[in-house]
Amino acid sequence: MNYFDTHAHYNDEKFEGIVDDVLRRCKEIGVKYIINIGYNIESSIKAIELSNRYKNIYVAIGIHPSDVEKCSVEELEEVYRKYNNGKIVAIGEIGLDYSYTKENKNEQIELFKNQIKLANKLKLPICVHSRDASLDTYTTLKECPAKYGTLMHCFSPTEDLVRLVLENGYMVAFGGNITYKRAASFSRYMNMIPVNQIVIETDSPYLPPVPLRGTLNTSENLPIILDKLSEYKNISKDELSQIVYRNSLEFFNIKEE
């Protein structure tokens, strides 16, 4: 089976010194492509550097809402101009996160919009992080749509979010979150999301799937996520793996070699 991890952070310090080993093992189990995702200026540059060393690693550069005070969209654009190696395939992860504070919510929304505009200018899709902020995410994406594709990362379906996704043809990425207990409530929405709008991800090193909670998450865990998704969607693993793999290549506009 071929796997495509649409969201991982091999630029995270937890992978320092072991990244070569981890990526070799991922390759052995059939992980063909990984999108290494930036979350501020430094990690975006690091993500690009890693993609210079590994053929199968592509990159999203972006400023996570929690870094709203530290980074600007001008700096991000400069990263693109300076380091673009032809493997920057998205702007992400960007979005809104009110789980720690809502106090800077206007700044978060403005940064989110500016990064969407940058994506439109560079003709790139976006990878969206939304936590405890679904209504404002909805409004922002409506006011300032991304023209080259929108992927909702670590998707937790609710009625409103599923409607948003269906109305606008967004892609959604499921990760370890679908193996958690609270995901039981997802089942009623799963049938509503067509498979051609679904991809998978790990969010490594975070969010390891059950039964590996508490361990370092890597793209080696994609088969566990695919298994769970195939149960939810009632589609064979073989068929589903091909569908989500193709969806991923298409979304990020990557030509398979």
Beta bridge partners of 204: 8
In the complex, the smallest distance separating the C-beta of residue 203 from Zn ion, rounded to whole angstroms, is: 5
Question: 40 or 140, CB closer to Zn ion?
Answer: 40
Cis peptide before 205 (omega within 30 of 0): yes
Give the residue with the Cβ less far from Zn ion, 221 or 233. Answer: 221
Considering beta carbons, is residue 12 or 136 the nearer one to Zn ion? Answer: 12
Binding string to Zn ion for residues 184 to 223, with x set by CB under 5 A, is what? Answer: -------------------x--------------------
Q: With respect to Zn ion, which residue has the nearer C-beta, 43 or 233?
A: 43
> CA-based diameter of the chain, in Å?
46
Q: How far is the CB of 177 from Zn ion (least distance, A)?
A: 12
- Please count the residues of the chain: 257
| Binding track over 148-187 against Zn ion, x by CB under 5 A | ----------------------------------------
- CA–CA distance, 161 with 10 (Å, rounded to integer): 28
Measured from the CB of residue 113, what is the shortest distance to Zn ion in angstroms? Answer: 20
Which residues within the stretch 63-82 sit at the binding site for Zn ion (CB under 5 A)? none
User: Shortest distance, CB of residue 5 to Zn ion, whole angstroms?
Assistant: 11
Cβ proximity of 2 and 245 under 8 Å: yes
Choice between 47 and 190, CB closer to Zn ion:
47
Q: How many residues bind Zn ion (CB under 5 A)?
A: 1
Residue 60 or 79 with smaller CB distance to Zn ion: 60
CB of 19 to Zn ion, least distance (A): 16
Beta carbon of residue 204, minimum distance to Zn ion (angstroms, whole number)? 9
Q: Of all residues in this chain, which one has the CB nearest to Zn ion in the complex?
A: 203
CB closer to Zn ion, 97 vs 203 = 203
CB of 191 to Zn ion, least distance (A): 27
Three-state SS for the chain is CCEEEEEECCCCHHHCCCHHHHHHHHHHCCEEEEEEECCCHHHHHHHHHHHHHCCCEEEEECCCHHHCCCCCHHHHHHHHHHHCCCCEEEEEEEEEECCCCCCCHHHHHHHHHHHHHHHHHHCCCEEEEEECCHHHHHHHHHHCCCCCCEEECCCCCCHHHHHHHHHHCCEEEECHHHHCHHHHHHHHHHCCCCHHHEEECCCECCCCCCCCCCCCCCHHHHHHHHHHHHHHHCCCHHHHHHHHHHHHHHHCCCCCC
The residues that touch Zn ion, with contacts defined as CB under 5 A, are 203
